[in-house]
Structure 1
Amino acid sequence: MKILLIGHSVFDTFLVNEKASYSPGGIYYSARQIQKLSSYDNELFIITQFDNNTKEFFMPVYSQFDSSFLEEVSAIPSVKLVVNDLEERKEVYCNFPSKLKTEKIDFSVFDAILLNMITGYDIELDDLKYIRSKTSAIIFFDVHTLSRPMNESGERIFKIIENFSEFAQNIDILQSNESEFNTLGHFDFEYERAKFLLQKGVKIILLTKGVLGAKVFFWKNDEVMSYFIAAKEINNANTVGCGDVFGASFFYNYIRNKNVYQSLSFAINKTEDFLKEKVN
């Protein structure tokens, strides 16, 4: 199976309850998880950028992928993430990213594509439409920071994505957290928004709910079905990367088994393992 990941790499500075630490981030978390789960019969590819100053943090993982689509740039985005226990994390960006190059890639050869909108500027709608037109691969799309345009200070602010229905028409599996989900059109209720997106063409919607767990929406017998799994309580204020690990785990399990329930359970368990690693 040929698996392709698409998304920006970023270098993270964490301020967790006012304590600073540093880490590779962005699509790195998705890539690390896919590489950990991958079996011998897979071929792994990644479209991302790296720079000379921070590549030592990323290459232990990226070197396990085919390097054909890696692009060296002068500086990848640097992100300061302010995390506490009481509110949605704040993200402030430096080094505005350039769009990832997708024009000359033969997408028809891939069986599954994971697209994580790490910065929100990774690709544009026309790029997604082009990818969809060239492949029958399962396309997994994490809304991520597409839901948070950048203001003049480099801070990300949640805002309704007015044309998201056009994105939805080109996506098989959609992931977002609750705050991101609220930006996917003007709706009063979670069910209404999920039904609209499914009607537009999305096959599966993953809605992560932080420490509570995660929910999945999908069509079955012409009805919108939903299924929720609660998460175990793990004491760790730094949850950065959890959504990426969750998404990558669901994506990988689903493309292997095509079972929504099993894949959701698998993703919850793998995310809990990731949180335990961070504690240790």
Structure 2
Amino acid sequence: MRIAVLGTFLKDRIIDQDGRVTESKGGLFYTIDALRAICAKGDVVSPISYVGRDFKEEVFAHFKEDARIDLSGVVLYDGLNNCVELRYVTTERREERSLHPMPSLTVEQLKPFLDYDLFVANFISGWEAQLTEFRKFASRFKGLVAMDVHSLTLERSKEGFRRLRKIENIEAWIEFAKIIQCNETEFQQITELNPESFYKLFCFNHKKIVNLTFGKRGSLHVYRNGEKVEQIWVGAEQRVNVIDPTGCGDVFLAGFVYFYSAGNSVRSAAEKANTLAAVAGSKKGLLEWQELRDGFNHLVG
């Protein structure tokens, strides 16, 4: 399987409720390392992201010993790399500040990946690609398109603070995506409808899957089964104590898309994705992909 993943490699500065600070790689690292933990030897994973001159060596060194990772989609930016400060107010609610934003990618930079099996758009910064460029690419992609709404629901102040905003044209963003993911707060920014009504209005005729993540409560999945709209609730993994939820949504996305594409049912893919995300959050910061793999395999057998 060949998987292209659009996102942003970040420097994370995480400040927990007690004021303790953890500095870590973040953003697209979570998605790519989750795929490294579950992908087969013959799979190819291609991250697509700008990388600042101050972060280039660290990014390339992170993946240098894994032949499955193709870095041809990494575009060097002659400026500082995007850095995000995450200050947790509660275990699952946080304030976010984005420093040194990088440019959006164009359809010309995405075109080399048109013949891949999967295209995963994880809008970590929210401006990885502008709507017109994203639609040009996604409309021509023949494989499965998945997207995490993520920071499309956030605006950025001049000082870098991120604040929630409504998305008025969500139908244009999701038109060509088979799998759409967002968390509870993000879902409230894209619609006032309940999940079933949203699905019937925007997704029913295209047989999409909408994944709503709820942190420690689990996840809700809405999809079409024949002429019916099905909703299934999958509980969170209870055998793991999640102490740092940073990046868990990114890991969930990677797990669900991969397992579903490999032939798992919606429920099975969601159960495995929840387990993978829980293991990823069992320590502060970015977990080593080998440790994530071992922890996941221990739980799923």
TM bucket normalised to smaller:
over 0.9
Aligned partner of 1:68 among 72, 79, 89? 72
Q: Is the 8 A contact 1:2 1:44 kept in 2?
A: yes
Question: Which residue number corresponds to residue 218 of structure 2?
Answer: 213
Deviation (angstroms), 1:43: 1.8
Matching of residues 100-249 of structure 1 within 5 Å: 100-104=105-109, 105-187=111-193, 189-199=194-204, 201=206, 203-233=208-238, 234-249=240-255
Distance 2:207 2:145 in 1: 10
Question: Which residue number corresponds to residue 38 of structure 2?
Answer: 37
Question: Which residue number corresponds to residue 299 of structure 2?
Answer: none
Question: Which residue number corresponds to residue 14 of structure 1?
Answer: 14
Distance 2:205 2:10 in 1: 32
Q: Which moves more between the two structures, 28-37 or 83-92?
A: 83-92
Q: Is the 8 A contact 2:126 2:150 kept in 1?
A: yes
Q: Is the 8 A contact 1:107 1:131 kept in 2?
A: no
Distance 2:4 2:244 in 1: 28
Q: Which moves more between the two structures, 175-184 or 59-68?
A: 59-68
Percent identity between the aligned chains?
A: 23
Deviation (angstroms), 1:41: 2.0
Aligned partner of 2:85 among 73, 80, 92? 80
Q: Is the 8 A contact 1:84 1:237 kept in 2?
A: no
Q: Is the 8 A contact 1:171 1:201 kept in 2?
A: no
Q: Is the 8 A contact 2:106 2:133 kept in 1?
A: no
Deviation (angstroms), 1:54: 2.9
Cα gap change, 1:151 to 1:226, in 2 (>3 Å)? same
Give 1:276's aligned amino acid. S
String of CA shifts for 1:111-131, please: whole Å, max 9, x gaps.
111110000001111122111
Give 2:160's aligned amino acid. G
Structure 2: unaligned runs, 5 residues or longer = 288-301
Distance 1:241 1:86 in 2: 13
Cα gap change, 1:176 to 1:141, in 2 (>3 Å)? same
Distance 1:202 1:89 in 2: 34
- Corresponding residue SS for 1:266: helix
Distance 1:202 1:106 in 2: 27
Distance 1:170 1:117 in 2: 15
Deviation (angstroms), 1:225: 0.4
- Corresponding residue SS for 1:145: helix
Aligned partner of 1:253 among 254, 259, 265? 259
Cα gap change, 1:86 to 1:260, in 2 (>3 Å)? closer
Question: Which residue number corresponds to residue 50 of structure 1?
Answer: 51
Q: Is the 8 A contact 1:92 1:155 kept in 2?
A: yes
CA RMSD of aligned residues (A): 2.0
Give 2:72's aligned amino acid. S
Q: Is the 8 A contact 2:255 2:272 kept in 1?
A: yes
Give 2:155's aligned amino acid. P
Residue 264 (structure 2) pairs with residue 263 (structure 1): no
Distance 2:80 2:63 in 1: 17
String of CA shifts for 1:40-79, please: whole Å, max 9, x gaps.
2212212112234234543344433212111121211111
Q: Which moves more between the two structures, 87-96 or 203-212?
A: 87-96
